[in-house]
A and B are shown apart, each in its own frame.
Chain A
Amino acid sequence: MSTAREIGRGPVAVTGVAVLTPLGDTPDSLADALRDRRTAVAPVPDLGGVGTAAIKDFEATRYANVRGLRLYNRPTRLGICAAKMALADAGLESAPLPKEQVGVVLASTFGHIETLLEYDRSLVTAGLQRTNPALMPLSIPSAPGAAISLSFAAKAFSVTLSDGGASSLDALGLGARLVQGGRARACLVVGAFSACQDLLRAAWRAGLLAPAADYRVFDRRRSGMALGEAAAAVVLECLEDARARGARPRALVSGQASTFATDPGRLERSLRRAAEGALKGAGLSPGDVDLVSAGACGSRDGDAAEARALAGVLGDTAARTPVAAIKANLGDAFDAAGLVQAVAALSAMKSGRVPPVAGLEEPEVPGLRYAVEEADVDVRHALVTSISYEGACSALVLSRPHDP
């Protein structure tokens, strides 16, 4: 973190990882699918063939069996399942920490919206006395996070950040700060996104979505985004706590920074500031970055600004640092997106294989090494970046832990 050396309890480690995506429900199966250039973006017939990526045949009870699951909407269930798998991966299911020492930060801007639409619509169409009163508490923005922390009895804190496309990376940053500040021994950072019919229709009507057949990121011919469905979760702990309980640290959260571009003309500069801030916090220079897991989503302004910012930050090393962009395969899972990018970076750190950018033929911004077929890349430090629709720019640095 930005002042890791001065305050708090030393480096923060990722000790558990989970994903639920249309291309896989484990980090390894997702990595295999990305390596094979599989893409989940498919046309929605009744919305003019725009692209979305949905998880097929999702059955929450296959992953988690917690009270109230039936009542919760789909993004909440996705989040609960990812959280459950991350806790298991961290070894905290078999040997749980005291409840007071576990916190939750959920990235969720739209996780409540389907339930709110349904509840409020029933007020209009059926009248006050015929609404389901149990829906109201689940219709507010904090509800999915409350459901997750209730499911796992996380009593240290339960926070929801609603920062749009920046939610996940902001949540990772806040979770790491809270762990480092001693507010919890372990923090589940969860992101979940699933576009309900109305939200999908709204995005389509706003002209945000590209036809599935034309969906591309970073490419000169990109024409918009695709909505993706996903959940991801990680467990964060202080490195010394993780080692003390014999947990295996997968990576360190070594830097995170967020900025805001007050107008679209400042996106490039703004992301550059975020990336430089995250690297500075990690005590690294641009030459130390071995991999970029970028957030490019097909946006005209955003993709170009991100590519230019990365070229600017990486400077001389831009030509040799592979840039992955997994929204090409998965669409943009907004609240979950940054976490899924982080998980992909962790997989690359583990395997040394960087997934290619699917469908990229004519990069608009030259000078970057867009990943093609990358094997045997020694990823010690990965930079994860994103630019949100609203202009929020975030950057995260993940580092491979040294052997103890």
Chain B
Amino acid sequence: MRRRVVITGCGVVTAAGTELEPFWNALMAGTCFIGPVRHFSCPGMEPLTGTEVTLPEEDAREEDARGGRCAQLALAAARRALADAGLASNSPAAEEAGVAIGTTLGEERQVGELNDRWPASGPDSIDPGFFSRSDNHRLATLVARKHGLSGPTLVSATACSSGNAAIAWGYELVSSGAADVMVVGGADALTRSIYTGFLRMGALSKTICHPFDRRLDGVSFGEGAGVVVLEEMEHARRRGAAARAELAGYGVSNDAYHITAPDPNGEGTVAAIRQALATSGTAAEEVDYVSAHGTGTPYNDVAETKAMKAVFGERARQVPISSIKSMLGHTNGAASAIEAVACTLALRYQGVPPTANLEEPHPECDLDYVPLRGRSMRVGTCLNLSAGFGGFNVCVVIKRAP
């Protein structure tokens, strides 16, 4: 028998806030945080549009001298999740815990800083710290070292489904008995490759992203991190920790279709959802809310709409599906982890967040995308969808705590 896995703590650092309640309230109000980027620039692309995180002084200070912006965001979200779970650093319960962090871009900015010196210094611009600073494993090991966690440390890179993938691997380890507690999530900073790459591919929005809207013309990017604490149900009960939700299972698939473009029919998404439902023992009828990947590109949003119809059939129009990327921008590997936190809060507050900037639906997007404002409603089961550049799809099932 697989062991049951619950979420006992959540942490986010996003443009919409770095504490759970203000974050949730901002989402429910439909506040779009996408605007001019002030603390990061990209040559030939000024001004950049996106979202940025303003970290409180204590987190900004926390930036390990050996870590970059991505690690800083991961550390800040992990600290919040551990506090929310009531797991004190270096406590016996924490000591056995492991870490799994997903990332799309990792510490890419280390490469940018090196290359900025390149025209003047050539090979001398390669500093002694570059080798270890470009090792993305540190996104997990810095968290583990800071909090005294000595279980497995994984960094999972599956492009923009990385956060959900890290959650899935945490679930594997906890449900199979290899770990009792896993601190899992995703983190990404704004980088040059993602902005310039999407610009050149014509996939970057010229204004702000409009998921599922007639005006959808591409992605807006953001930075952030989301982390949840996964814990074996009895382990949580024994230490008196409240279960915020149950992580009931996950599904995975890979398009193997193209290095960047998703399968236009969303077949991989359908496969991942069906596997997630089957392995978590969830009937499609039970699903109350779907957190969409919803990037604001025609490719994704139309394919995702088709996938919803394939999975839910007639009922597809009755299942609310929304994209909080409309407010936070696409935070790459962090996105699905932040969205997992949003699903957990949807269970806590009994409501679903909206798709902002959605005024007139795209002709091929005809579902209930919860436009503009959040909605109070009964929520018992959420699906958290994610898809990655390169084709890797992960769907996670988050249910009301048992």
Interface, chain A (partner B; CB < 8 A): 1-3, 6-8, 68, 99-100, 103-104, 108-110, 113, 116-117, 119-121, 123-125, 127-129, 131, 133, 136-143, 145-147, 149-150, 152-164, 166-167, 170, 174, 177-178, 181, 183, 197-199, 201-203, 205-208, 257-263, 266, 270, 273, 277, 281, 388-392
Contacts and interface: CB of A to CB of B under 8 A. Distances in A.
Contact of B111 (A120, A145, A259, A266): A120
Interface of B: 1-2, 42-45, 98-99, 103-106, 108, 111-112, 114-116, 118-119, 123, 126-132, 134-138, 140-141, 144-145, 148-159, 162, 165, 169, 172-173, 175-178, 192-193, 196-197, 199-201, 252-260, 268, 271, 275, 279, 388-392
A223 to B, nearest CB: 17
Contact of B132 (A129, A198, A206, A259): A206
A202 B275 CA distance: 43
A167 to B, nearest CB: 8
Contacts of A119: 193
A146 B391 contact: yes
Contacts of A167: 137
Contact of A260 (B141, B175, B253): B141
A176 B83 CA distance: 33
Q: Most A CB atoms within 10 A — which of B116, B138, B155, B165?
A: B155
A154 B165 CA distance: 17
Given A136-B196, A150-B258, A162-B136, A129 B152 contact: no
Nearest to B158: A142
A117 B115 contact: yes
23 contacts: A1-B178, A2-B177, A8-B176, A68-B259, A100-B271, A109-B137, A120-B192, A127-B44, A133-B197, A142-B158, A142-B162, A143-B259, A150-B256, A150-B390, A152-B256, A155-B254, A159-B165, A162-B156, A162-B157, A164-B135, A205-B126, A390-B135, A391-B141
A160 B392 CA distance: 10
Given A110-B134, A153-B256, A156-B252, A205 B152 contact: no
B288 to A, nearest CB: 26
Contacts of B135: 109-110, 162, 164, 389-390
B178 A206 contact: no
B150 A262 contact: yes
B157 to A, nearest CB: 4
A160 B156 contact: yes
Contact of A163 (B137, B176, B197): B137
B128 to A, nearest CB: 4
A208 B131 contact: yes
Contacts of A128: 43-45, 196, 199-200
Nearest to B198: A136
Contacts of B253: 100, 155-157
A149 B259 CA distance: 10
Contacts of A143: 259, 390
B197 A137 contact: yes
Contacts of A202: 126-128, 130-131, 134
A-B residue pairs, 10 tightest by C-beta: A146-B390, A136-B197, A128-B44, A141-B157, A133-B200, A164-B137, A258-B152, A202-B130, A202-B131, A158-B254
Contacts of A141: 103-106, 136, 157
A147 B259 contact: yes
Given A142-B162, A390-B138, A263 B392 contact: no
Given A133-B197, A141-B103, A154 B154 contact: no
Contact of A161 (B43, B105, B154, B256): B154
Contact of B144 (A136, A155, A262, A273): A262
A202 B265 CA distance: 44
Contacts of B111: 113, 116-117, 120
A193 to B, nearest CB: 12
Contacts of A391: 141, 145
Nearest to A153: B256
Contacts of A100: 253, 271
Given A133-B200, A137-B260, A159 B192 contact: no
Contact of A146 (B155, B165, B201, B259): B259
Contacts of A152: 256
A259 B152 contact: yes
Q: Which of B108, B129, B169, B259 has the most CB of A within 10 A?
A: B259
A207 B390 CA distance: 36
Nearest to B178: A2
Contacts of B148: 262
Contact of B391 (A150, A206, A259): A150
Contact of B141 (A142, A266, A390): A390
A142 B200 contact: no
